[in-house]
Amino acid sequence: MRKQNLILIFILTLMPTLSGCGIIDYFYLPPGEDTAQELFEAGNDAMREKNYVAAASYYSKLKEDHPFSPNALAAELALADAYFLDEEWAAAVETYKDFENMHPRHEAIPYVLHKIGIANMKLYPSIDRATQPVQDAYSYFQRLVETYPDTEYAKDAANKMVEARAMLAKHELYVGDFYFRMGQYASALSRYREVETNYRDVPEAYDYAVNQSKIAFIKHREKRSSQKQEKREGSWKEMFDWL
């Protein structure tokens, strides 16, 4: 009995020490937050597994909870990559832009400009939509080619500039053809001449525009002549009706 009492006293004596060592906390307190390193590794694992939604979540949490961590900068770029690979083009553009604004001298800027350009082109779904994303893409590719001509991304950016110009020219022709089909020849002529003036570097579009301009001009003159004739005939008819 005395032995049992001594054991009990010994355990009670150790309790403050055990509590101080964190054993009580381990069993009764909620687990601590993930560290920046843990979040970064979890995001990288998710990227390797192509689970881009989860990866974006980990990288976002790292940025928010550990903004001064050594991994924070890498997480910013990785977050943009996660959006890009998940084909969340608008989110990718904004996140890459944020990275460029925050770190304009970073060595990854040529890569970032290239990705912004590509993502913007992806935001242009079809020829009948507004061309602002394509114009933005062209601007970023142009910056890349002019500012970082010796990088591995410059050659592809130059090719993408040609592609963007063709897309812009084809959009103008699409609108011009629409007006032409509607019989609005003056508006059609304006679009065709826009291509003639500004897209000589897109031969196929330029040649088509030159030909259509001639046809639209003739159609426009014929329509105006017909309208004038109808107006004159209408005036004579009104006069005879009055008599």
3-state secondary structure of 151: coil
Q: Which residues contact 171 (CB under 8 A, 6 or more apart)?
A: 127, 131, 134
Does residue 63 lie within any of the structural domains? Answer: yes
Domain that holds residue 67: 33-86
pLDDT tens-place string over residues 68-120 = 999 999 999 999 999 999 999 999 999 999 999 999 999 999 999 999 999 99
Q: How many domains does the chain have?
A: 1
Ranges of residues in the chain whose predicted pLDDT is under 50:
2-3, 5-12, 14-15, 17-32, 235-236, 239-243
State pTM to two decimals.
0.80
Does residue 153 lie within any of the structural domains? Answer: no
Does residue 51 lie within any of the structural domains? Answer: yes
Does residue 81 lie within any of the structural domains? Answer: yes
Please give the pLDDT value at position 101: 98
What distance in Å separates the CA atoms of residue 32 and residue 42, rounded to the nearest whole number? Answer: 16
Q: Which two tokens stand for residue 84?
A: 């890009």
Does residue 150 lie within any of the structural domains? Answer: no
Measured CA to CA in angstroms, residue 86 lies from 41, 60, 69, 119 at distances of: 19, 15, 25, 11
pLDDT tens-place string over residues 33-44 = 679 999 999 999
108 phi and psi angles, rounded to 5 deg: -85, 0
Helix, strand, coil percentages for the chain (3-state, nearest 5): 80, 0, 20
Does residue 66 lie within any of the structural domains? Answer: yes
Does residue 39 lie within any of the structural domains? Answer: yes
Does residue 191 lie within any of the structural domains? Answer: no
Q: Which two tokens stand for residue 160?
A: 């993408």
Measured CA to CA in angstroms, residue 112 lies from 58, 76, 80, 145, 217 at distances of: 21, 11, 9, 13, 46
